[in-house]
Amino acid sequence: MKDKKLFGLAALFSTPDELVHAVEKVREAGYEKYDVHTPYPIHGMDNTMNLKPSKLGYITLSFGLSGAAFALLFMYWAMSKDYPMIIGGKPFFALPAFIPITFEVTVLFATLATVIGMLTFFFKFPSNNHPLHDTPYMKAVSGDKYGICIEADDKAFGLEKIKSLFKELHSTDVSEIYFPVLEPVNLFDGKFLALLVVVALLTSGVTYLSLNKLLYVSPFTWMMTQDKDNVQTKSTFFADGFGMRRPVEGTVARGFIPYEYKGLIAPIVPLSNPLLPTTAVLNQGKKRFLTYCSPCHGNFGEGDSRLRGQFPNPPSLHSEKVRGWADGNIYHVISIGQNVMPSYASQISRDDRWAIIHYIRALQKAKNASPTEISEAKKENSANVAK
């Protein structure tokens, strides 16, 4: 008994009246560190023990209010700042429509805070190795007895003195409660290590199975498997075994119109430019010309290739011959190519080809203008500015 440390002295009573009387006497005797253990709350015991009212409500209030504020602010931020969207003609901050969620979050925060606060902060739970556990005293008070326990670190504690006090009060049973002797914990205990291994195996196994297998079990394939042939899959239906099919002979792609003068070498193509040389068209033509034509023809169509001899230089677009060509003739060359120039039909759309032709015409005009034309243009510009 000597190596055990005394926790306190406990007494049992068989009726609540006797207990109330005993608590009054214990308080009169000046003890402060005592506790009453009853199978259910006894009415009026708060006053008998002179306990202050519980402060739990403050936790509830503060967390409830912060839950309300959090919900409202979050919805305000999400619906009017982060991703504002008009829904049903309501304002971004639609207070009436935010009330239900605000209320629910308030209740949730307050409830959880109350319970968690009570269990951890007020009760210091979990505490399964409190000295009172596993004593006959605890078994009696959780059944049908009423007990009082005076702790040994009370200033006025005296073993014999309290024993006689409890005897006077007609206690049915007085017992000494000792702190439990804790066994030293061995981290390298075989059972403990085995448990660790089992937990590790279980955790990794379950994680692997659920993330890599379970998620991809039919029907959880996220529409990845479908009853159709994809371009790269082998087909069991077609004789050649290809999942990818060629279009039927003579199929024309949507929006594609074949170029009807393809076979001619130097035609007088009866095509006229469908576009008007507006600023927008000229800008579009400039952009396409610089992208597709300028690498060989040069930025101003002078045949000064930027390819430094890696590809034969084309003749200038400012020659008499090209200047004399009809628009359709240039269109024909872009569409099917000429000499070493390949066809640009697949790169440059029809409208872009006509826009490029307007731009080439503008370049030719600028390069080969007569002095009177230049002064006319200057006059026109200044007149525009003056206006």
Residues in the site for other proteins, rule: CB under 8 A? 15-17, 19-20, 35-46, 49, 51, 54, 56-57, 60, 74-75, 78-79, 82-83, 87-88, 90, 94, 97-98, 100-101, 103-105, 107-108, 110-112, 114-115, 118-119, 122-123, 125-130, 132-133, 138-139, 141-144, 218-220
CB of 7 to other proteins, least distance (A): 12
| 10 token code pair | 């406990």
* Contact by Cβ (8 Å): 19, 38: yes
3-state secondary structure of 27: helix
Task: Give 6 or 108: the residue with its C-beta nearer to other proteins.
Answer: 108
**Judged by CB, which is closer to other proteins: 89, or 274?**
89
3-state secondary structure of 99: helix
- For the record, the structure tokens of 256 come out as 């594609």
C-beta of 119: minimal distance to other proteins in Å? Answer: 6
Q: How far is the CB of 87 from other proteins (least distance, A)?
A: 6
Instruction: Give the separation between CA 106 and CA 345, rounded to whole angstroms.
Output: 67
CB of 90 or CB of 321, closer to other proteins: 90
CB of 194 to other proteins, least distance (A): 18
Q: Please, which residue, 128 or 236, has the CB nearer to other proteins?
A: 128
The answer to whether the beta carbons of residues 105 and 67 sit under 8 Å apart is yes
| Three-class secondary structure of residue 147 per DSSP | strand
Q: Given the complex with other proteins, which of 105 and 293 has the nearer CB atom? A: 105
Pull the structure tokens for residue 158.
């005296």
Instruction: Return the DSSP state at 125.
Output: -
Residue 327, classed as helix, strand or coil, is helix
Nearer to other proteins, 2 or 52 (CB): 52
Smallest gap from Cβ 191 to other proteins, in A, equals 15
Phi and psi dihedrals of 146, rounded to 5? -125, 125
Q: Which is nearer to other proteins, 41 or 250 (CB)?
A: 41
Q: Nearer to other proteins by C-beta: 16 or 243?
A: 16
In 3-state terms, the chain is what percent helix, strand and coil (to 5)? 50, 5, 45
> Residue for token digits 């199975």?
209
> Is residue 355 within 8 Å of residue 275, measured between CB atoms?
yes
Q: How far is the CB of 81 from other proteins (least distance, A)?
A: 11
User: Is 269 in contact with 261 (CB distance < 8 Å)?
Assistant: yes
Q: Least Å distance between CB 75 and other proteins?
A: 5
State in angstroms the smallest separation of the CB of 164 from other proteins.
24
DSSP string, 166-234: HHHTT-SEEEEEEPPPPPPP-TT-HHHHHHHHHHHHHHHHHHHIIIIIGGGSTT-STT---SS--TTSB
Whether the Cβ atoms of residue 295 and residue 305 lie closer than 8 Å to each other:
yes
Element (H, E) at 248: none
Is the Cβ of residue 135 or residue 284 nearer to other proteins in the bound state? 135
Rounded to a whole number of angstroms, the minimum distance from the CB of residue 83 to other proteins is: 6
Report DSSP letters for 111-149, one per residue: HHHHHHIIIIIIS----TT-TTTTSHHHHHHTTT-EEEE
Name the minimum Å distance from CB 346 to other proteins: 37
Give strand ranges (E) for 277-338.
Answer: none
Question: Is the CB of residue 132 less than 8 Å from the CB of residue 7?
Answer: yes
* Complex with other proteins: residue 74 or 178, whichever CB lies closer: 74
Question: Of the candidates 107, 12, 103, 106, which has an alpha carbon nearest to the alpha carbon of residue 67?
Answer: 106
